[in-house]
């Protein structure tokens, strides 16, 4: 069971990375400067900027924001659960 949770965590983390890159690209297309080198460090700032920009433009938060947040939360929860099960 722990191996399944670890695999789910890995796929969720990959989905989060894809979402992060898509958020950065969406911001870049809107004329907001994005540092690709420091994307790992700045992604929380970029996610907030993306949320604010899409909320202002459309009146709703963009789906990429939810995609990133949900993917990373699933990765965190399943990784911790998998490691706990593996240790016991």
Q: What is the pTM of this model?
A: 0.91
All structural domains of the chain with their residue ranges: 2-87
Neighbouring residues of 63: CB distance < 8 A, sequence distance ≥ 6: none
The CA-atom distances, in angstroms, between 60 and each of 4, 9, 44, 66 are 35, 28, 19, 11
Q: What are phi and psi of 35, to 5 degrees?
A: -95, 110
Check residue 86 and give its pLDDT. Answer: 87
Check residue 16 and give its pLDDT. Answer: 97
In the Cβ-directed half-sphere of 45, how many Cα atoms lie within 13 Å? Answer: 9
Check residue 79 and give its pLDDT. Answer: 94
Check residue 87 and give its pLDDT. Answer: 81
Mind listing the pLDDT tens digit of every residue in the chain (88 residues)? Answer: 889 999 999 999 999 999 999 999 999 999 999 999 999 999 999 999 999 999 999 999 999 999 999 999 999 999 999 999 988 7
């Amino acid at each position: 069971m722990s191996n399944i949770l670890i695999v789910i965590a890995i796929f969720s983390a990959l989905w989060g990375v894809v979402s992060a890159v898509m958020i950065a690209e969406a911001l870049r297309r809107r004329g907001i400067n994005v540092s690709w080198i420091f994307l790992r460090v700045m992604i929380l700032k970029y996610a907030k900027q993306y949320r604010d920009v899409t909320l202002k433009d459309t009146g709703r938060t963009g789906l990429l924001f939810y995609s990133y947040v949900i993917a990373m939360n699933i990765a965190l929860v399943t990784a911790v659960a998998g490691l706990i099960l593996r240790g016991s």
